[in-house]
Amino acid sequence: MPDEATSVRASDRMQALVVVCVLAVASIAIALMGVTPARVSATELMGDVRTPGEQAFIASHRGGGATAPENTLPAIEAALSGGFDYVEVDVTLTADRHPVLLHDATVDRTTDGRGRVSELPLDAVRALDAGSWFSPEFAGALVPTFAEFLAVLEASRGRALVELKGVWDAEAITGLVAEIDARDLERRIVVSSFDARSLALARQASEVIPRLVILKKVPQDVVGAVEEIGARGVVIDRRAVLQRPELVDDLHAAGLRVVVYTLNSDTQWDEVTALGVDGIVTDDPGTLSSWQETVAGGE
């Protein structure tokens, strides 16, 4: 039988070993917490849920297409300098899988070129004039790359709603997320899409970057559908909200947010503000801001 001194020494060694193990586990946990940032909450992203009549946040549609050619750097810079809550842009993929800012499936409407974006390589898209159609003042404006857009956003204090046009694959989503992460913008960008698969891939690529699902038609169980996708809320057509106004309260009760697109008149703004929507996408953010100050809960 060991003597008493030997037993005490053995007990001390055992206690020390336990302490070392506990500290090791704690260190691993802290390290993991450090490399896995917390998800962006809906409140951090878009504020508290609105009540009927309360001001909604403003998202400048297509980068500010009322003042400059849509989805171009001049439009984006104008929207960001205007101090609106969000700038909204559309991102699509070229034939060689580079993300660029364009709304349509073709370049016909907003450039001097013709053809489907998905069939044109980046060099061909970048050779187009994306400004002359809007005004001679913007002749020679280019179709921006996603990286160029991020550089402008990074230099500002603004936030962005980034709509993924079409269907994206895992490689393209991973590349997009990597560009956002490289500039530490994952807490200032919201990714949205009509395509549930693209949003699911975005969720796999980043648990931090928030997502919104765009809806034109509303499923019966809209809350369940949004939660299954793992989104923070919806970007929804105004008419769908007016047909089912109760969905605003239903989504709010689940901690989700409601953004309505694309509203350009005081009548439309009044209709949705009365329901308590959280955000409004508009081509005329300046006028909407003035309207809110005088009508929708302005000081």
In this structure, is residue 126 part of a structural domain? yes
- If asked whether residues 50 and 11 sit together in one domain, one would say no
Do residues 75 and 69 make contact, with C-beta atoms less than 8 angstroms apart? yes
- 47 shares its domain with 107: yes
Of residues 45 and 183, more confidence is placed in: 183
Same domain, 168 and 117: yes
Task: Say if residue 171 is in the same domain as residue 273.
Answer: yes
Give a yes or no: residue 123 inside a domain: yes
Q: How far apart are CA 67 and CA 61, in angstroms?
A: 11
pLDDT in tens, 63-108: 988 899 999 999 999 999 999 999 999 999 999 999 999 999 999 9
Mean pLDDT of 41-58: 90
Please indicate, yes or no, if residue 299 is contained in any of the structural domains. Answer: no
Token pair of 142, please? 């280019």
Are 56 and 31 in a shared domain?
no
Average pLDDT over the chain, rounded to whole?
A: 89
Task: Measure the CA–CA gap between 193 and 168, rounded to whole angstroms.
Answer: 10
CATH number at residue 261: 3.20.20.190
Asked if 230 and 254 count as a contact pair (C-beta separation under 8 A), the reply is no
Domain residues for 16? 1-36
53 within 8 A of 272, measured Cβ to Cβ? no
Q: Which two tokens stand for residue 190?
A: 């919201």
Show the tokens assigned to 189: 């960008």
The Cα 192–Cα 211 span in angstroms is 6
Q: Tokens for 249?
A: 């309260």
Residues 117 and 11 in one domain: no
Element (H, E) at 144: none
For residue range 116-162, what is the model confidence (pLDDT) as tens digits? 999 999 999 999 999 999 999 999 999 999 999 999 999 998 999 99
Query: Does residue 161 share a domain with residue 49?
Result: yes
pTM for the full predicted model: 0.85
Q: Is 189 helix (H, G, I), strand (E, B) or coil?
A: strand
- Confidence band, pLDDT 50/70/90 cuts, at residue 5: very low
Number of folded domains that form the chain: 2
Q: How far apart are the first and last CA of the chain?
A: 83
